[in-house]
Structure 1
Amino acid sequence: MDILLHILWTNVLPLTLMIAVGFTMQRLFSLDIKTLSKLNFYVFSPAVIFNLLYTTKISAQLIGKVLLFAVVFLVLQGAVVELAVKLRGLKGGMRGAMRNSVLFYNSANYGIPLNQLAFAANPYTLSVQIIVMVTQSLLPNTYGIYSVNAHKLDLRSTMRTILSQPIIYVIPLAFIFNGFGIKLPQPVETPIVYLANAFIGTALLTLGVQLGSMKWRWDRRLFSNVILSNFLRLIIGPALAALIIWALNAFIEIDKMMAAALIVSSAVPTSLSSVLLAVEFDNEAEFASQAVFLSTVLSIVTVAFVIYILHI
């Protein structure tokens, strides 16, 4: 019960309040959600990724192990989603929206605070979470863009869009600056820190604005798709992560702290990136918004249960 109350008070309630502010602002002033989406994609998200990678010391061995897990996890979870998409008979843009709602999870503004709470701000487990966050930041800006555009754009146009995303250049640049100990000039470092600090608030406000702009209506098929997405993300996700870690331990050593951090990281709700992609590229924004919102609410119970099982 203490874990549940802590997660509710320190993670879910603050996120919900920020979403509520965006919802209210949209209802009062009809904000331009496209502008908010572009700010997130091209300014705030690259800044927060660069800042974390630039300021955190992570060993090459740790990076290798976490990346191996991340690749195997995404491939197998992707296979599960594809099976669900085919059995469900989803077509067009909904196929990509479903994939994104399951494969992209909230590893930054939900995952990092949750990691610090669950592991008492342990720097080792935080490093694990940061690497997961990097992979989850890169995927929406590459595969995610391809997924939502594959049914309506040719490959060349899609690749041009992907190559225009700053995040794919920011990640290697941050690793270079960190690895070689290159110090940023103060006039450059300070704005990056300011922009990084603005990421979480702006992303949550954007979700609230999108929810506020939706025409809330009962659509049985849409709701059943949202439930399917949440089930694959919140239940199958951590179960699959635990299975992968058990299997990988036969080949490489994954200590208990890393294993626990990886399982917790896989249990978080759907990423705001799925909403930003849906809004930016006009692809099933209503489904994406509801999937993020409901998965965040349901995670109050599911994430607490996962942490409880790990404690046992």
Structure 2
Amino acid sequence: MTFLGLIFLQIITPILILIVIGGALQRKFAFNLRAISNLITYCLMPAAVFINVYKTEIEMQVLMQIIGYLIVFSLGLIVMAALVCKLLKLEKGDAATFKNGFSLMNSGNYGIPVSQLIFHANPLGISIQIIVMIFQNVLTYTYGLYNLIAATKSGLEILRELLRLPIIHALILGSLLNGFNVPIPSFIWLPIEHLSDAFLAIALLLLGAQLAQIELKAMINKMVIITSFGRLVIGPAVSLLFIYLFGLDGVVAQSLFIASSFPTSRNSSTLALEYDVKPDLAAQTVLFTTILSSLTVTVVVYVSTILFL
């Protein structure tokens, strides 16, 4: 078996199996997805964030490079999306959906599990993905919201929403305890570790359950194809350009490059539904990019091992 095939078999296939199981279970039992989502958001994901941040040491210079890269990379995607919308003369609803589909990535219940499988022996790679996820949350509830509503929330309201996210608290606490080398007693560490271990499987089951609710009809249309190409092909290409411009290498470059290849964020579909802006198109984009990413992410992981290892 080729190395590319091995990556697909060992990294992507386990993810697909869990997604399919989640979809099948949802079709049969119709779970309360909001309750499961709350379990992940307020319990399992913060535990995974805390564990990985606590165990990882990131130099301040490297952290600043990562944040600088993420800002420039995201601005690059935003500008490109705006230019494509003008070039195609998209109406407001299609333009908003395209911009979010192109710029917002599923860095949470897709990105972190992928990173856990790839970097299971290197917490730095997972911690970088956590930083990407938090940055994407900020981008979603600022730029993403701005695309969908005429008058977005005030800056103070957005800040309050972000500060309510448990992953922010877990990130800060994990960083402080790490920075001051505070030992954690085993009777506290073990429950957190068990919660962290549960995150990967339940997050992917939830993703499958969410995708099972998306209608397949009219999924393959021009806008879905254009957005998918932008998210899964153009996105990683732009990422690679900025990685070289920033002079990044090793695990940092590999993790950021892989992070750029993830499918469209499920939050883009949730927000589109909440504000009634092309919700069907947004949902179809999430589903189609997630399906195609099984191939494109495999290729990006393979290329990353050639370029950065």
Unmatched 5+ residue regions in structure 1? none
Structure 1 segment 83-102 matched on structure 2, within 5 A: 83-88=83-88, 89-92=90-93, 95=96, 98-99=99-100, 102=103
* Other-structure match for 1:269: 263
Q: Secondary structure at the match of 1:26?
A: helix
What's the offset of the Cα at 1:209? 1.5
Q: Does 284-293 or 50-59 show the bigger shift? A: 284-293
| Partner of residue 170, structure 1 | 170
In structure 2, the residue matched to 1:134 is 130
Separation (CA, whole Å) in 2 of partners of 1:246 and 1:147 = 26
- Bigger mean CA offset, 93-102 vs 194-203: 93-102
Structure 1 CA distance for aligned equivalents of residues 100 and 68 of structure 2: 21
Q: Provide the residue aligned with 1:110 in structure 2.
A: 114
Aligned residue among 220, 226, 241 for 2:224: 226
Which runs of structure 2 are paired with 1:24-39 in the superposition (5 Å)?
24-39=24-39
Per-residue deviation, 1:178: 0.7
- SS for the counterpart of 2:263 is coil
Q: Could you tell me whether the CA contact under 8 Å between 2:141 and 2:158 is conserved in 1?
A: yes
2:296 corresponds to 1:302: yes
In structure 2, list runs of 5 or more residues that go unmatched.
none
Rounded to whole Å, the distance in 2 between the matches of 1:173 and 1:93 is 40
- Mapped to 2, the partners of 1:82 and 1:93 lie a distance apart of 12
- The answer for the alignment partner of 2:202 in structure 1 is 202
Q: Aligned equivalents of 2:274 and 2:185: distance in 1?
A: 33
SS of the equivalent of 1:75 reads helix
Which stretch of the first structure deviates more once superposed, 178-187 or 94-103? 94-103
> 1:7-156 residue pairs with structure 2 within 5 A?
7-88=7-88, 89-92=90-93, 95=96, 98-99=99-100, 102-106=103-107, 107-115=111-119, 121=121, 123=122, 127=124, 129-150=125-146, 151=149, 154-156=152-154
Corresponding residue SS for 2:216: coil
What TM-score results when the alignment is normalised by the length of structure 2? 0.80
TM-score (norm 1): 0.79
Displacement after TM superposition at 1:179 (Å):
0.7
RMSD value, Cα = 3.2
Q: Counterpart in 2 of 1:247?
A: 245
Q: 1:22 to 1:261 in 2, by over 3 A?
A: closer
For 2:12 and 2:199, how far apart are their aligned partners in 1? Answer: 17
CA displacement at 1:140 relative to structure 2: 4.0
Displacement of 1:176 in angstroms is: 0.8
**Mapped contact 2:243–2:253 kept (Cα < 8 A):** yes
One-letter identity of the residue aligned with 2:81: V
When residues 308 and 25 of structure 1 are mapped into structure 2, their CA distance, relative to the original with a 3 A threshold, is closer
**Deviation per CA, 1:74-111, whole angstroms, max 9, x where unpaired?**
22122222333444525359726742553324431123
Measure, in 2, the Cα distance between the counterparts of 1:93 and 1:158: 24
| Offset of residue 290 of structure 1 | 3.8
CA shift for structure 1 position 228: 2.2
**Local SS of the residue matching 1:155:** coil
Read off the aligned partner of 1:108 and give its amino acid letter. I
CA spacing shift, 1:25–1:138, aligned 2, 3 Å: same
User: Structure 1 residues 101, 248: CA separation in 2 closer, same or farther (over 3 Å shift)?
Assistant: closer
Letter in 2 for 1:57: E
Deviation at 1:240, TM superposition (A): 1.0
Q: For residues 190 and 275 of structure 1, what CA distance do their matches in structure 2 show?
A: 35
Deviation per residue, 1:160-189 (Å, 9 max, x gap): 433322222222221111111112343432
Task: Return the alpha-carbon distance in structure 2 between the equivalents of residues 39 and 8 of structure 1.
Answer: 29
Aligned AA (1:239): A
Contact 1:141 1:168 in 2 (8 A): no
